[in-house]
Chain A
Amino acid sequence: MEEKLSFHRSRGVALLVLVLAAFVLLSVLAAVVFGVAMQTSKIENWQADHNDRLRLSYLARSSANTVIEAISDDLASLGASEAHPIDKKTSVKLTEADAVSLDIEITGDASPYLLVKTKASDGKAEPVTVTAQFNAVTKQITGWGGGQ
């Protein structure tokens, strides 16, 4: 009789255990999915920031090289000499390239070095500055600085 009463009181325990186990299982799975999603999101954010900086870096580096190619072909027009070191600057807005602004500066006396410094900025990511040292005698780039 007692056993029967005990069984009677325990009715529904199996269902309760089943529901609780299911709840725990679903919670664990949801936590795993959430963890994976958060990690992916973190990586995506890092990559987006990295891409913005890389975009600016390529523009800064290629513009420094563009200026150096022009200097290399026509050094005389620059008017730099040991007696007259130069410090020329300009700003260029590249509307077609996500409105990136380039600040370009040429300094030095070409005896034998000139320094070309370019800064690329888009108002969102941190600006990227690149410097290139150019040997006016050998007409070669002897050093790069800055970048990402």
Chain B
Amino acid sequence: MKHFGSLFVEVLIAMVVFLVGLMAVASVLMFGLHSVARSGEKLKDEQSLVNEIEEYMASRIFSHTNSPSGANATCISAGKSFDIDGFTVNYSVYRYILPDKPGSRYYIIQREL
């Protein structure tokens, strides 16, 4: 018994299966590339946050007057103190954080009078 066109149908099915697989791999690849690109952007944001802290630290050491400022800096605790064998130090705690990346958070403590 002869089946005319059976090879054509087989090839067609194989091509459909192949294309579905190819599209799945392509979408994974695109997702991966997009993630890598987004990761690069986040890395830049994080580096600028670190630069912000470094600038604050450098200027604070010299001036003793400035405080953390900018959208990423928040005072999370004020009016605190610790005692070093009778020598009292008053301080506040500040947090630097990237809003869309909570893992990138840094803290500094600053002396208060």
Contacts and interface: CB of A to CB of B under 8 A. Distances in A.
A27 B40 CA distance: 27
Nearest to B56: A62
Contacts of A12: 7, 10
A96 B11 contact: no
Contacts of B57: 58, 61-62, 65
A55 B90 CA distance: 21
B87 A78 contact: yes
Given A48-B103, A65-B57, A15 B7 contact: yes
Contacts of B103: 48, 51
Contact of B110 (A43, A62, A88): A62
Interface string A14-54: 11001100100110011011001100100110011001001
Contacts of A43: 39
A96 B104 CA distance: 16
Contacts of B84: 67, 88-90, 104, 106
Contact of A96 (B14, B50, B77, B113): B77
In terms of DSSP, what is the predominant structure of the interface of chain A?
Answer: helix
A136 interface: no
Given A15-B14, A96-B76, A88 B87 contact: yes
A11 B11 CA distance: 12
Contact of A62 (B29, B87, B109): B109
A141 interface: yes
A65 B61 contact: yes
A124 B87 CA distance: 30
5 contacts: A33-B32, A40-B36, A62-B108, A69-B111, A88-B86
Question: Which 7 interchain pairs have the tightest Cβ spacing?
Answer: A97-B107, A62-B108, A88-B85, A66-B111, A22-B18, A69-B111, A70-B89
Given A19-B18, A29-B29, A77-B87, 18 more contacts: A12-B7, A26-B21, A29-B25, A33-B28, A37-B32, A40-B35, A66-B91, A67-B84, A70-B88, A70-B90, A73-B113, A79-B86, A89-B84, A92-B82, A98-B105, A98-B107, A104-B84, A141-B61
